[in-house]
Structure 1
Amino acid sequence: MNPSTGANAPRSLTGARFVLGTFAVALATFMNVLDSSIANVAIPTLSGNLGVSIDEGTWVITLFAAANAVSIPLTGWLTQRVGQVKLFVGAILLFVLSSAACGLAPNLQVLLIARIVQGAVAGPLVPLSQALLLASFPQQKSSNALALWAMTATVGPIVGPALGGWITDNYSWSWIFYINVPVGLFAAATVWSVYRDRETPTRKLPIDKVGLISLIVWVASLQIMLDKGKDLDWFDSPVIWALTIVAAISFVFFLIWELTEEKPIVDLRLFARRNFLGGTVAISVAYAIFFANLVLLPQWIQGFLGYRAVDAGLVTAPLGIFAVMLAPVMGKVMPRSDTRVLATLAFVGFAGVFLMRSHYTTGIDAYTLVLPTLLQGIPTALFFTPLTAIILSGLPAEKIPAAAGLSNFVRILAGAIGTSLLSNAWSDRTILHHAQLVEQTSVDNPAFVGSIARLQTMLGAGAPKATAFFEASLNTQATMLGLNDIFWISAVIFVAIVPLIWVTRPGKGAGAGAAGAGGH
């Protein structure tokens, strides 16, 4: 049977098929979301084992996100060519295969190729998981389907860092990828057994090949330029200049082509709508800051506070506690609230959290580390759903899939770019603070001379060992000051983008039915 929408739509699932189907779809979503955060705390260990710097190790996260962003706009076209169920199951199986390749990777180059493939095949999983869940529930309970989806998408970031840390400490970083194999195989087999007779109609549609190629070229060039910039000394390198020129030219060509193509792969005309433009820019900039800090914080906790990977994961895990607790509340509050107010409260909340972090010190205790992370769950609950509702409000039903796909593309790409930019900014600020601190380490400075003398007494060693110990402490302090700058800048950006929310038209939970499309 090839069901379609409307009167011919498949009936909702019941009994054991309902339980198994919804569990398997949610599990596939959880696996995908988990993989976007599970590697965060493993980067220092992974980098050390592969003999690369932490900055290079971060490419494991950014290239996955960039590939994921590029593949999302293809979901609609692939669904019509392959069918919803076949595409979903196929994407899971390819995700399993690429996960195994990640775990087996002997070096960074092979790992990055596998992560690019993994990110690309993960693109259709999020939008298709929503569609399958909505088809499983009775129409009057569609909000419950989206609530279940949101819960699984929120639990991923909670479990990911802690689970990734525990696996890395007790086994090997490879197992953060191997864990997807049994989970994915079970999810694929179960989804196929439950949903194979509910396949959607297929038809052959042409694809905008020129738009797709230009999209891949500018995204890849931009991401490589950002990731390699610091290593190649930025614009002193002809490679960086070449990548920048290629990215700029291909981006301009992409814009012109997509705006004039009859059936573009990305419908850029959606940006002519005020709510879509303001909401997409706001959620993308906010997500870039949000995601980048999720990547940088565990690196600092492990590299400079000496926490084990599992402990770094436990420190960042409380982020999702309030996010999960408040998810059902948001479902009741949104229909009666102005979504712009909710989104503004989220941005102000994020700014407050990052201001708290900007006062961190090298002697910070666990409570002071955990408290802002715990509180960050509150604005996180107010963040994705209202902004996605703003983005999709006022759109005709036939435009919602394209709008959700485009906003997801921009948001996820912003996350990858934001991680690269803030990682480079942290390094630059650390170098600046190090230089400023070194200026004080002169034999003419009584405080410095006194410190070296006290260290010699404390360590029972000569001046060279005391000076080396002092230099290590200075590096740790410079790194902390650099990260504090990133936290402060993050707070300022969240306040600065609040006006973007108020560019949009008011609405009370508009578009909430598709709010899950924002995802985490």
Structure 2
Amino acid sequence: MADTLTAREGAEPAPTSPAAPARPAHQEPLSGAKLIVGTIALSLATFMNVLDSSIANVSIPAISGDLGVSPNQGTWVITSFAVANAISVPLTGWLTTRFGAVRLFVTSILLFVLSSWLCGVAPNLEVLLAARILQGAVAGPMIPLSQSLLLSSYPPHKSTMALALWGMTTLVAPIMGPLLGGWISDNMTWPWIFYINIPVGILAAYATWAIYRERETPTRVLPIDTIGLALLVIWVGSMQLMLDKGKELDWFHSTEIVTLTVVAVVGFLFFLAWERYEKHPIVDISLFNGRNFSAGVVAISVAYGLFFGNLVILPLWLQTIVGYTATDAGIVMAPVGIFAILLSPVIGRNLPKMDPRWVATAAFITFGIVSLMRSRFTIDVDTTTLMIPTLIQGAAMAMFFIPLTSIILSGQPPDKIPAASGLSNFVRITFGAIGASVSTTVWENRSAMHHAHLVEQVNPYNPIYNAQVEHLMQQGMSHMQAVGVIERTISQQASMLGANDIFWISGVMFFGLIVFVWLTKPKGGGGGSADAMGAH
């Protein structure tokens, strides 16, 4: 449930916190056709947003090939969106207070549609990245506001059902994303992965305005932490540029990478110092003083970084090494949402009766097992073997986001819940972008290392090598062709071993994160999140 973190965003009004939007206060619930249309409109906008974070994953080879860049550079299409999205999330509360939840939500949708069109018409990678940055920035308020408006549409005793309906869209989108992206890449042209947002967005914006314009939230002018925002953009942007361009520029042998690293570190330290003493901080750093919040955020953010990194590597590996089409890669990725959709309502309904630490532990164990299963893949792996761990991973997703969100918000006073939810969401999204960059870098480095080791065995003094060359020549190949086939096989094997290393490291780290889960002491089973939902 990829964005359940913000599910409690509007549980209580928080006029003093600019970190996340407060829920529209004292609104009468909707009923009948208005409730149905309103729920569909908000869900469509959420679906479009989440879909866009996954639809590009399987289309990276197609985009890279068309624009004449490497697949690793193509992954910037994913990370640029994620970083811009992370930076804009903390602004949601201030923008909501200034302009109103409904106006901001509808404007975000329309700007998202515009930026999607700009992505589709981009003639080169630079323009595409600029459009993706705009798209990620305007998408920031959409998910928290969709939850806030949805909660205001339902009576208090049905708030859990409202969030379950909302959650279904965030789980269906990751299934549809790879499938739709793969089919479009194989049968149409890649710009259509962005053009499909245009009719969906216009419909969602029109329906939302028609239903909710009379339910606008109060507005007032609040000061904005401009220095904090500038420092946030500087350190996050520098860090992501450093991660994305590091492998291309040979990391710290490059003056540019060293400069970006220094700017990121210094910017981050200044940001921490400024936010601690600013009267209206864009990020409430004091939340990390709480054990549940700090340990819970570390667990959910690092795990999401590992999850998202693997989500980027897997379709790239399937298409560039195993030889799958984009559609086939999408089909392999799709089962991840099946158990997630089936189990999420069950987990949500029963979580208040359980200790969320045990549920989160089960999620990490499952994630770890899935990663270790993938670490045993070979270049001859069959589709069934590929899909089994993906299917199992869906169960881990259902047990992952909801309990950890509960732990993070457990014990928070009502006026801190929106800020806590907004900050945890920001950290998680940032780690997702870091995970995508780090995983592609590690994959490339480990593949190069394995290639070097394998090539050591390829020499005229190795009888196995000579026998293989002789066998290929007997099939009608020239000596050069036989050597070329062996080199291609070595490259495939090296990339496979590099991917195996990433999966193995991820599995070990998932097991290690269980420690952070048990550093927390959630109060009353469902914790703050359950209370927050009931507080409406």
TM range (shorter): over 0.9
Match of 1:89 in 2: 106
| Equivalent position SS for 1:441 | coil
Q: Cα distance 1:514–1:224, how it changes in 2: closer, same or farther (>3 A)?
A: farther
| Equivalent position SS for 1:382 | helix
- Aligned pair partner of 1:437 in 442, 445, 454: 454
**Is the aligned partner of 1:486 residue 2:502?**
yes
Q: Which amino acid aligns with 2:352?
A: P
Distance 2:40 2:349 in 1: 24
Q: Cα distance 1:86–1:391, how it changes in 2: closer, same or farther (>3 A)?
A: same
Match of 2:161 in 1: 144
Match of 1:296 in 2: 313
Q: Which amino acid aligns with 2:489?
A: S
Match of 2:66 in 1: 49
Asked if 1 retains the 8 angstrom alpha-carbon contact of 2:336 and 2:394, the reply is yes
Distance 1:54 1:287 in 2: 22
Match of 2:87 in 1: 70
Match of 2:477 in 1: 461
Asked if 2 retains the 8 angstrom alpha-carbon contact of 1:389 and 1:514, the reply is no
Q: Cα distance 1:515–1:497, how it changes in 2: closer, same or farther (>3 A)?
A: farther
- Aligned pair partner of 2:382 in 361, 365, 369: 365
TM-score by length of 2: 0.94
Match of 1:502 in 2: 518
Q: How does 1:107-186 map onto structure 2 within 5 Å?
A: 107-186=124-203
For this pair of structures, how many residues does the alignment match?
Answer: 512
**Is the aligned partner of 1:320 residue 2:369?**
no
- Deviations for 1:145-193, whole angstroms, at most 9, x for unmatched residues? 1111111111111111001101111111100000000000000000000
Distance 2:90 2:432 in 1: 16
Match of 1:275 in 2: 292
- Aligned pair partner of 1:426 in 443, 461, 472: 443
- Aligned pair partner of 2:272 in 251, 255, 261: 255
Asked if 1 retains the 8 angstrom alpha-carbon contact of 2:24 and 2:152, the reply is no
- Deviations for 1:111-170, whole angstroms, at most 9, x for unmatched residues? 000000000010101110000100111111111111111111111111110011011111
Q: Cα distance 1:7–1:292, how it changes in 2: closer, same or farther (>3 A)?
A: closer
- Aligned pair partner of 1:353 in 370, 382, 402: 370
Deviation at 1:59, TM superposition (A): 0.2
**Is the aligned partner of 1:105 residue 2:156?**
no
Deviation at 1:418, TM superposition (A): 1.0
- Deviations for 1:320-377, whole angstroms, at most 9, x for unmatched residues? 0000000121123201110001001100100000110000001111100111000111
Asked if 2 retains the 8 angstrom alpha-carbon contact of 1:45 and 1:168, the reply is yes
Q: Which amino acid aligns with 1:501?
A: V
- Deviations for 1:365-415, whole angstroms, at most 9, x for unmatched residues? 110011100011111110000000000111111111111110000000000
**Which blocks of at least 5 consecutive residues in structure 1 are unaligned?**
none
- Deviations for 1:213-239, whole angstroms, at most 9, x for unmatched residues? 000000000000000001101111110
Q: Cα distance 1:6–1:101, how it changes in 2: closer, same or farther (>3 A)?
A: closer
Q: Cα distance 1:8–1:484, how it changes in 2: closer, same or farther (>3 A)?
A: closer
Q: Which amino acid aligns with 1:372?
A: P
- Deviations for 1:284-303, whole angstroms, at most 9, x for unmatched residues? 00000001101110001111
Q: Cα distance 1:107–1:352, how it changes in 2: closer, same or farther (>3 A)?
A: same
Distance 1:457 1:392 in 2: 68
Asked if 1 retains the 8 angstrom alpha-carbon contact of 2:292 and 2:522, the reply is no
Asked if 2 retains the 8 angstrom alpha-carbon contact of 1:65 and 1:119, the reply is yes
Distance 1:299 1:288 in 2: 17
Asked if 2 retains the 8 angstrom alpha-carbon contact of 1:288 and 1:411, the reply is yes
Range 331-340 or range 205-214, more displaced: 331-340
Match of 1:446 in 2: 463
Distance 2:530 2:87 in 1: 25
| Equivalent position SS for 1:74 | helix
| Equivalent position SS for 2:345 | helix
Match of 1:339 in 2: 356
| Equivalent position SS for 1:250 | helix
| Equivalent position SS for 2:367 | helix
Asked if 1 retains the 8 angstrom alpha-carbon contact of 2:348 and 2:402, the reply is no
Deviation at 1:496, TM superposition (A): 1.0
Distance 2:188 2:297 in 1: 40
Deviation at 1:510, TM superposition (A): 1.1
Q: Which amino acid aligns with 2:193?
A: I
Deviation at 1:506, TM superposition (A): 3.3
Asked if 2 retains the 8 angstrom alpha-carbon contact of 1:388 and 1:515, the reply is no
- Deviations for 1:420-457, whole angstroms, at most 9, x for unmatched residues? 11110000000000000000001111011111111111
Distance 2:131 2:73 in 1: 15
Q: Which amino acid aligns with 2:110?
A: L
| Equivalent position SS for 2:412 | coil
Q: Which amino acid aligns with 2:430?
A: L
**Is the aligned partner of 1:395 residue 2:412?**
yes
Deviation at 1:86, TM superposition (A): 0.2
Distance 1:457 1:101 in 2: 54
| Equivalent position SS for 2:527 | coil
Distance 1:217 1:46 in 2: 28
Asked if 2 retains the 8 angstrom alpha-carbon contact of 1:218 and 1:247, the reply is yes
Deviation at 1:512, TM superposition (A): 3.2
Deviation at 1:480, TM superposition (A): 0.2
Deviation at 1:511, TM superposition (A): 2.7
Q: Cα distance 1:223–1:514, how it changes in 2: closer, same or farther (>3 A)?
A: farther
**Which blocks of at least 5 consecutive residues in structure 2 are unaligned?**
1-12, 14-21
Distance 1:135 1:141 in 2: 11
Deviation at 1:514, TM superposition (A): 8.2
- Deviations for 1:60-85, whole angstroms, at most 9, x for unmatched residues? 00110011000000000000000000
Asked if 2 retains the 8 angstrom alpha-carbon contact of 1:389 and 1:515, the reply is no
Asked if 2 retains the 8 angstrom alpha-carbon contact of 1:386 and 1:515, the reply is no
Q: Cα distance 1:323–1:75, how it changes in 2: closer, same or farther (>3 A)?
A: same
Asked if 2 retains the 8 angstrom alpha-carbon contact of 1:292 and 1:419, the reply is yes
Range 341-350 or range 499-508, more displaced: 499-508
Match of 1:242 in 2: 259
- Aligned pair partner of 2:243 in 226, 245, 248: 226
Identity of aligned residues (%): 58
**Is the aligned partner of 1:470 residue 2:486?**
yes
Q: Which amino acid aligns with 1:369?
A: L
